[in-house]
Copies of this chain bind each other. A is one copy, B any other.
Amino acid sequence: MNITRRYSRGVKVGDVQIGGGAPIVLQSMTNTDTRDVERTCAQIRALMDAGCDLVRVAAPDMESARALGMIKDNVGVPLIADIHFDYRLALKAIECGADKIRINPGNIGSFDRVKKIVEAAANKGVAMRIGVNAGSLEKKLRKEKGITAEAMLESCLNQVRAIEREGFEDIVLAIKASSIPLTIEANRMLASAVEYPLHLGLTEAGIPGAGSIKSTVAMSILLAEGIGDTIRISLTGDPLNEIRDGLVMLRALGLKPPGLDIISCPTCARSHGDVEALAKRLHTELSGVDTPLKIAVMGCEVNGPGEAREADIGIAFAKNGGGIIFKRGEIVDRTKDIFNSIMDELKGII
């Protein structure tokens, strides 16, 4: 499966490039109180350690906007400020060093205010993400066209054209809904209409599990079509889940270099051992490991030896309840102490 990425112009967010042929940028967003600089910095560091490329921070008030400066100095990575309603928060965030401003021009008030944000961003080389959301579509468009991909596209293009007229083009666009078909359709239309890089997301996907699957449906279809330059899987709760699931998705698509991949069979009446317990124990034990390795846990002799042989480390349960351990295709052990045998084989590799 070869994904031919859609052409998009590159937009710089600090030293991170979105679009223009750069690898997909994986984002998340803090959910700490932004004014609590220490906790916010800790969460940003945890996200970056987990594989996040860019972090967004909400600035719902002046104190939060000011805190961005301290946060950025502390963590030393580019930051995106998430601004709604008050253009002065955007100006303050830019002043304090935000590298990208995310606004929905529809809720900033008059275009004069949007213009002030654009001017400030242009002066400091700050990028802007313009977001259109089905949930906050302008009343006029909603009445005329309903909540449709066409209405969302029109709303987005109106905003883009107005900002372009100010000579500003460091723009990333997002067009989102909580409906998956609507999100896909609107993004396909937007991808054909502009050359700006696109930020993919599904609004209010929900909690990990169902929310991850819904986001993956929407994004993987678009990414497979080459659409999307940066993504965020939005999940209710700890943002680390967004990075964990986003990495799995991007790696599955071949859009991020591989990491640790533990595959395991679904178990059936044929399983000779407790595949689930072993797979879960390996997931827990190796949760911090990111070495590109494939570990296969197989319950029986049907696909077991085949898959185990193709993996870096493989184990196929045998009829006696023990297991055959494979390392890059060679049998290296037959044992009942499977977990420790695998961990031994992993020594020096991870």
Contacts and interface: CB of A to CB of B under 8 A. Distances in A.
A252 B135 contact: no
A263 B206 contact: yes
A207 B283 contact: yes
A195 interface: no
Contact of A82 (B58, B204, B268): B268
A214 B252 contact: yes
A56 to B, nearest CB: 8
A297 B58 CA distance: 19
Contacts of A263: 178, 203-206
A224 interface: yes
Contact of A84 (B181, B297, B302): B302
Given A210-B248, A236-B276, A34 B269 contact: yes
A279 interface: yes
B236 A275 contact: yes
Interface stretch (A109-117, A151-159, A215-223): A215-223
Interface string A103-146: 00001000000000000000000000000011111000000000
Interface string A149-188: 0000000000000000000000000000010111011000
Contacts of A298: 204
Interface in A38-94: 40, 57-60, 64, 82, 84
Report how many copies the assembly holds. Answer: 2
A29 interface: yes
Interface residues of A, number: 82
A313 interface: no
A22 B64 CA distance: 54
Contacts of A134: 306, 310
30 contacts: A31-B269, A31-B271, A40-B269, A58-B269, A134-B306, A137-B306, A178-B263, A178-B310, A180-B252, A180-B253, A203-B263, A204-B264, A204-B265, A204-B296, A206-B264, A206-B279, A207-B280, A209-B248, A212-B212, A212-B213, A213-B216, A214-B248, A214-B252, A216-B220, A217-B249, A220-B220, A220-B221, A235-B266, A236-B266, A242-B266
